[in-house]
């Protein structure tokens, strides 16, 4: 299961990471805790039925921080009614199957390691030891896989690259988390939109095509479109995002020493289209303290929208000790 802020997706996945069946349903609108839970159980029951044979376990990726041993939601920003719910205990009782729950960005890292970019590298004779995954989308999140397993730290709240500081100046932008200068404020879709709107509102960008738009329709997609046409304002906003990602990932390289960095999410797709990933890689290499720290592959996610489902499945296989 991949339980997001808007959709809940379910799938039957084998140990090779192949999706044998899948479905997706919108979450109840402003539902009660009971409605959410009943809906989730119903979807899981359908998936188990669709498996049509023995099921090894249930894995779930959830959009928010989660305690890794009990699978308890801490403070899910989009699903606050579910605070404190332990999915693991609930579903193990309901389905008589082992259950594991993880944060969606963490599990995306695990999915890419076992079934995506990491697997591809291994198949090409270059197995990955330490994989850092970053999703640059509405927000910015991450996950770290070391020797095939998730790195979870003390409370499962690791790899939060979106809230590492990449602007320490007095003019650093405020972040939704309450701090300032976070990577998420500079490089997320929401951040790019906010920066564009602020710049346009401040005036002085009449040469930009973005100034001709209704300000309400200026979003990160509009910025990417304009940058493709070399619009100077749009290009400068994305230059800052690229620089911010380079700084954040330099810190990741020095702290985690990964041999692979995988970038996913909608903003990454836009950066790829503009061929900006090599600039991010160069920005990290320019700042790296040693040649060995530069020995990482920087690549894009392979699993698209299925990355959360794949990661949830990878968690089950990893916890059961079954390798593909």
Q: Per CB under 8 A, which of residues 149..168 are in contact with a copy of itself?
A: 151-161, 163-168
In the complex with a copy of itself, the residue whose CB is nearer, 13 or 150, is: 150
CA distance 58 to 245: 34
Binding-site member from 29, 169, 217, 323 for a copy of itself (CB under 8 A): 169
Half-sphere exposure of 20 (CA within 13 A, CB side): 15
The region of 53-61, 89-97, 283-291, 298-306 touching a copy of itself under the rule CB under 8 A is 283-291
In the complex with a copy of itself, the residue whose CB is nearer, 68 or 308, is: 68
**Cα dist from 12 to 9, 108, 115, 261, whole Å:** 11, 17, 15, 28
Count of residues near a copy of itself by CB under 8 A: 50
30 Cβ partners below 8 Å, 6+ apart? none
Q: What angle do CA 218, 135, 288 make, to 5 degrees?
A: 110
In the complex with a copy of itself, the residue whose CB is nearer, 106 or 220, is: 106
CA distance 144 to 27: 28
In the complex with a copy of itself, the residue whose CB is nearer, 182 or 298, is: 182
130 lies in the binding site for a copy of itself (CB under 8 A): yes
CA distance 301 to 304: 7
Buried b (16+ CB within 10 A) or exposed e, 141-159: bbbbbbebebbbeeebebb
Binding-site member from 179, 236, 300, 319 for a copy of itself (CB under 8 A): 179
Structure tokens at 239: 């230059």
Q: How far is the CB of 127 from a copy of itself (least distance, A)?
A: 11
CA distance 145 to 241: 25
Q: How far is the CB of 292 from a copy of itself (least distance, A)?
A: 5
Q: Which candidate, 59, 19, 1, 94, places its Cα nearest to that of 317?
A: 59
The region of 83-91, 187-195, 211-219, 249-257 touching a copy of itself under the rule CB under 8 A is 249-257
102 lies in the binding site for a copy of itself (CB under 8 A): no
The region of 5-13, 89-97, 214-222, 247-255 touching a copy of itself under the rule CB under 8 A is 247-255
Q: Per CB under 8 A, which of residues 59..78 are in contact with a copy of itself?
A: 65, 74-75
Give residues in contact with a copy of itself (CB under 8 A).
Answer: 65, 74-75, 129-130, 144, 146, 151-161, 163-169, 177-179, 181-182, 247, 250-252, 254-259, 286-293, 295-296
């Amino acid at each position: 299961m991949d339980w997001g802020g808007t959709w809940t997706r379910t799938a039957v996945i084998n140990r090779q990471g192949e999706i044998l069946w899948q479905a997706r349903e919108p979450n109840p609108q402003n539902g009660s805790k009971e409605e959410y839970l009943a809906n989730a159980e119903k979807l899981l029951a359908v998936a188990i039925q669709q498996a049509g044979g023995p099921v090894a376990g249930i894995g779930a990726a959830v959009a928010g921080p989660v305690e890794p041993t009990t699978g308890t939601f801490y403070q899910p920003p989009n699903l606050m009614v579910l605070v404190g719910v332990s999915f693991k205990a609930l579903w193990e009782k309901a389905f008589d199957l082992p259950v594991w729950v993880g944060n969606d960005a963490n599990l995306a890292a695990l999915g890419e390691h076992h079934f995506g970019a990491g697997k591809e590298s291994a198949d090409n004779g270059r197995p990955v030891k330490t994989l850092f995954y970053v999703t640059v989308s509405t927000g910015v999140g991450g996950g770290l896989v070391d020797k095939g397993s998730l790195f979870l730290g003390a409370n499962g709240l690791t790899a939060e690259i979106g809230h590492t500081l990449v602007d320490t100046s007095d003019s650093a932008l405020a972040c939704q988390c309450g701090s300032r200068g976070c990577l998420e404020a500079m490089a997320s879709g929401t951040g790019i939109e906010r920066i564009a709107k602020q710049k346009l509102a401040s005036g002085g960008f009449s040469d930009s095509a973005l100034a001709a738009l209704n300000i309400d329709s200026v979003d990160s997609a509009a910025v990417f479109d304009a940058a493709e046409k070399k619009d100077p304002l749009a290009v400068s906003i994305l230059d800052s995002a690229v620089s911010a990602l380079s700084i954040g990932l330099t810190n990741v390289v020095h702290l985690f020493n990964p041999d692979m960095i995988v970038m996913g999410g909608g903003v990454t797709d836009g950066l790829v289209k503009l061929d900006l990933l090599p600039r991010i890689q160069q920005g990290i290499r320019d700042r790296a303290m040693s040649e060995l720290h530069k020995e990482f592959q920087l690549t894009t996610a392979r699993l698209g929208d299925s990355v959360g489902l794949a990661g949830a499945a990878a968690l089950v296989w990893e916890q059961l000790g079954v390798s593909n």
